Chain A
Amino acid sequence: MESILQSLISGIVVGSIYALIALGFVLIYKSTAVINFAQGELLMFGAYLCLTLVVAFKIPFWIAFFATLIAAALLGLLLERLFLRPMIGEPAISIIMLTIGLASLLQGMIHVTWGSETMVYPAIFPTEPLRFGGLVISQVYLYSIFFAGLCLVLFNLFFRFSNSGIAMRAVANDQQAAQSMGISIKKIFAIAWAIAAVVAAVGGILIGNINGVNTSLSGFGLKVFPAVILGGLDSIPGAILGGFIIGLLEALSGIYLDPIFEGGSKEVVPFIVLVVVLMIKPYGLFGTEEIEKI
């Protein structure tokens, strides 16, 4: 029983990181109607950059952390300006392909810059695990849950009350109408990409602290898709919930299905659940249904 509880908790923890990354997807989708396949690479960029600042330049972690966030925001702005802006108004498949191309480009460049060996963060978060009765939770996990929660609250408030947030929602809803109301679409896109890159960098730094940093980190981008789609592409609470559901599903399938299939079911079960959910609810659990007219 204890071991099941333990893995459930680790499922929730992994889920919180998924939720954080899923948030990046949703932010971009919500304001620009683009699904970003390069999110995993943005994450990797954040993880590598922060690591380099801390290890090679001996900068204290928190300063390096914020420097990385600024760099990530700049990268987001740069990518948007160079690659995404010319694509405004192109069909969905072209934009998907563009972000896939972007993923490949970033992956290659990160590989050239940092090599392919796994690097490890020096201990930053207190390593002493917390114990609740028999349960053990590493403190990094608490930080990641904290960040996911913080982002959830901040972005929900942002989208509901701030001018930019409302403008972003307007742009996502109808670009033309938004533009005629005096909203600068270009500015909104730039903000969205910058924020998404920052969120990805935070996720990357957290995962880097848990798992170490190597090029396989970008795979997280792929793993988070079920979470995003499950919650609904344009719903922030959906992304968070989807992240936790997928994390838990992975943990549970790890316990119950892996003995049957000799491992590996963790990767598949989320996708199977995803297909089933999509059959019943085509826009995910909380996604806005698109109503089309001729």
Chain B
Amino acid sequence: MAIKCGVFKTTYEDDEAIWQTKVSKFWIALLIAALIAFPFVFQDSRYLLYVANSVLIAVIAAIGLNILTGFTGQISLGHGAFMGVGAYASGYFMTQLGMPFIVCVVAAGCVTAMVGMIFGIPSLRLKGLYLAIATLAAQVILEFVFVRWRDVTGGSQGMLVPPATIGGFAFSGDFKFYFLALAFTILGVMIAKNIVRTKPGRAFMAIRDRYISAEIIGVPLFQYKLISFGISSFYAGVAGSLWAHYIGIITPEHFNVMVSIQYLSMIIIGGLGSIYGSIMGALFMTLLPEGLRLLSGLFSNQYPILINIFGAIRESVFGLVIILFLIFEPDGLAARWKTIKNYWKLWPFSY
């Protein structure tokens, strides 16, 4: 199994292929095997499994946001609220209408896509900062609905959601749920990977790079912007639905503006316009607070004050990490990864 040294592509099909080389196929297979083995190894640690599940769900939502923001160039500050729509819709469908889980997830995704497209309508005329604030308005309005529409959402008391069940098998608890989340994540990554190399995906990127030029070469702007909002919100809805069935009780605070900001920071740190970037960003941003907690736990014997101000420190570090990434690695982890890979590709003859 020789590693290819250099670029040997001769056709566009080669260039667009998902599996660039046999070697990469092998590594991906190995990765998936490792991911499947992971919960068996750490079966006893509920904490680790919880973190892993959070990462998987975050990956799905982050991919959705990256399709909208990274690929289509439309900034959204409402992703957290869209996740909430999915979560509440899924919970409502299951508890009130008695739908099976699989139907619930898809229906929740569709409902969220509809809501996302409605809030995407202003994007036809708004650009950049104005759009960012319009999506912030979506976030605020949806949060208000979560709190006030008590008949459906349970208000600030929250809503109890039963665990996911497929064909009589309940994915309850951290261990079983992991496999469900993993399956959805892999599916989500594959679909996203394919969307971005098809016609809509290329249209998205054209709109991002220069929307006037895109329109002139025949990309219907409004249609594709709405599609992008729809797809992005669908991902958010599915992620929200999974989260609801995992956590079991959802309250409006789970979907506030901080969540939206966190997802934006994930895709920026991971890399805008990169599916792998979304994965890395989600992993990084979910592990960061956990790592900080670990550190402050270690030092809390010497400096007991750390426990009191942990929240503040976490916030500062969160801000600092975003700033440092933006200044020193604006293309995100994905770009850094590529640089490292390219270096080794030609190693030791880097000319």
Interface residues of chain A, those whose CB is within 8 Å of chain B, are 29, 35, 83, 86-87, 90, 92-94, 96-98, 100-109, 111-112, 222, 225-226, 228-229, 233, 261-262, 264-265, 267-268, 271-272, 274-275, 278-279, 282-284, 290, 292-294
B7 within 8 Å of A (CB atoms): no
Complex contact B265–A101 (CB within 8 A): yes
B318 within 8 Å of A (CB atoms): yes
If the complex has contacts A104-B319, A104-B322, A222-B257, are A97 and B265 also in contact, measured as CB distance less than 8 A?
yes
Complex contact A96–B322 (CB within 8 A): no
CA distance in complex: A90, B137 (Å):
25
Identify whether the interface residues of A are mostly helix, strand, loop, or mixed. Answer: helix
Question: Which B75-101 residues have C-beta < 8 A from chain A?
Answer: 75
Complex contact A106–B130 (CB within 8 A): no
Complex contact B141–A268 (CB within 8 A): yes
CA distance in complex: A101, B140 (Å):
20
If the complex has contacts A35-B129, A108-B313, are A101 and B148 also in contact, measured as CB distance less than 8 A?
no
Residue of A nearest to B318 (CB): A104
Q: Which residues of A contact B288 (CB under 8 A)?
A: none
If the complex has contacts A261-B148, A282-B126, are A108 and B316 also in contact, measured as CB distance less than 8 A?
yes
Q: Which residues of A contact B309 (CB under 8 A)?
A: 111-112
B326 within 8 Å of A (CB atoms): yes
Residue of B nearest to A29 (CB): B129
Q: Which residues of A contact B213 (CB under 8 A)?
A: 294
**Cβ contact of B261, chosen from A100, A275, A294, cutoff 8 A:** A100
B33 within 8 Å of A (CB atoms): no
Query: In the complex, how many angstroms separate the beta carbon of A26 from the nearest chain B beta carbon?
Result: 12
Query: In the complex, how many angstroms separate the beta carbon of B142 from the nearest chain A beta carbon?
Result: 10
Complex contact B147–A225 (CB within 8 A): no
CA distance in complex: A294, B312 (Å):
46
Q: Which residues of B contact A106 (CB under 8 A)?
A: 319
Complex contact A97–B133 (CB within 8 A): no
Q: Which residues of B contact A97 (CB under 8 A)?
A: 264-265, 268, 322, 326
Query: In the complex, how many angstroms separate the beta carbon of B220 from the nearest chain A beta carbon?
Result: 18
Query: In the complex, how many angstroms separate the beta carbon of B309 from the nearest chain A beta carbon?
Result: 5
**Cβ contact of B313, chosen from A92, A102, A112, cutoff 8 A:** A112
Complex contact A105–B122 (CB within 8 A): no
Question: Which B191-250 residues have C-beta < 8 A from chain A?
Answer: 210, 212-213, 216
Complex contact B264–A100 (CB within 8 A): yes
Query: In the complex, how many angstroms separate the beta carbon of B214 from the nearest chain A beta carbon?
Result: 11
Identify whether the interface residues of B are mostly helix, strand, loop, or mixed. Answer: helix
Residue of B nearest to A108 (CB): B316
Complex contact B330–A103 (CB within 8 A): no
Query: In the complex, how many angstroms separate the beta carbon of A34 from the nearest chain B beta carbon?
Result: 9
Interface residues of chain B, those whose CB is within 8 Å of chain A, are 69, 75, 121-122, 125-130, 132-134, 136-138, 140-141, 144, 147-148, 210, 212-213, 216, 257, 261, 264-265, 268, 272, 309, 311-323, 326-327, 330
Complex contact B134–A93 (CB within 8 A): no
Complex contact B129–A233 (CB within 8 A): yes
Complex contact A98–B323 (CB within 8 A): yes
CA distance in complex: A272, B261 (Å):
21
* A-B contacts, 15 listed (Cβ < 8 Å): A86-B327, A92-B75, A92-B132, A101-B323, A103-B319, A108-B314, A108-B317, A109-B316, A111-B309, A225-B133, A233-B129, A233-B130, A272-B137, A278-B126, A282-B126
Query: In the complex, how many angstroms separate the beta carbon of A82 from the nearest chain B beta carbon?
Result: 9
CA distance in complex: A70, B319 (Å):
25
Complex contact A262–B316 (CB within 8 A): no
CA distance in complex: A94, B69 (Å):
11
Residue of B nearest to A105 (CB): B319
If the complex has contacts A97-B265, A102-B319, are A87 and B132 also in contact, measured as CB distance less than 8 A?
no
Residue of B nearest to A292 (CB): B212
Complex contact B141–A271 (CB within 8 A): yes
Complex contact B326–A90 (CB within 8 A): yes
**Cβ contact of B132, chosen from A96, A104, A267, cutoff 8 A:** A96
CA distance in complex: A104, B289 (Å):
14
Q: Which residues of B contact A290 (CB under 8 A)?
A: 127
CA distance in complex: A189, B137 (Å):
29
Complex contact A282–B137 (CB within 8 A): no
Complex contact A226–B137 (CB within 8 A): yes
If the complex has contacts A97-B322, A225-B136, A294-B212, are A283 and B268 also in contact, measured as CB distance less than 8 A?
no
Complex contact A262–B148 (CB within 8 A): yes
Q: Which residues of B contact A294 (CB under 8 A)?
A: 210, 212-213, 216
CA distance in complex: A283, B315 (Å):
33
**Cβ contact of B323, chosen from A102, A229, A278, cutoff 8 A:** A102
